[in-house]
Amino acid sequence: MLLHATGLAGAFTVEIEKRIDHRGFFARTFCAAEFGGQGLATGMVQMNISCSIEKGTLRGMHYQEAPYSEVKLVRCTRGAVYDVIIDMRGESETAYRWFGVELTAENYRMLYVPEGFAHGFLSLSDDTEVTYLVSQFFTPEAERGVRWNDPFFGIEWPHDATVISEKDKAWPDFRRPEGSIGNIHLRGDKQI
């Protein structure tokens, strides 16, 4: 596996290394020794699957507050998504910046999402499926979120979201907490 820094502190894209022969290929998608050797979380407790029927389905931007913050390792297993993370850690050098990357069934790319990051994705094709490992169990009382189109973050989505849950539409405008060191001029990064 190849880990590539995203520009946001602690977040990485993960590329698989295929061993190809006449049958197809074999590759590792997770290795506790390799992740642990880089200081990344290895204690995954749950695996989730999300299926979006229509192109333009938006899910996010979600996170859990400490002490229930979760790490995610996200992969698109069918179709394609534009996956976005926001560093919600007010004390971070990359606080309130976002990063977006296209994950597809064909490119096998994954996104490692550290604790304290909001996460969401937009389906780029019909019948899209995403699976992800998480390091914490879902804790409803710790669930938080920010709106995908909040002007504070200025996320540049590749196209409009057309299917959005009422909960995701209703997150209030974000206000930067007092005392946080987040960038005054926010900028995002994207990788296609």
CB hemisphere CA count around 31 (13 angstroms)? 13
- In the block, which residue shows the tokens 């979600």? 62
Q: 16 and 28 in contact (C-beta within 8 Å)?
A: yes
DSSP class per residue in 117-184: EEEEEEESSSSEEEEEEESS---GGGEEE--TT-TTT----SS---EE-HHHH-PPPP-PPTT----S
Token output for 91: 């004390």
Instruction: List active site positions.
Output: 62, 132
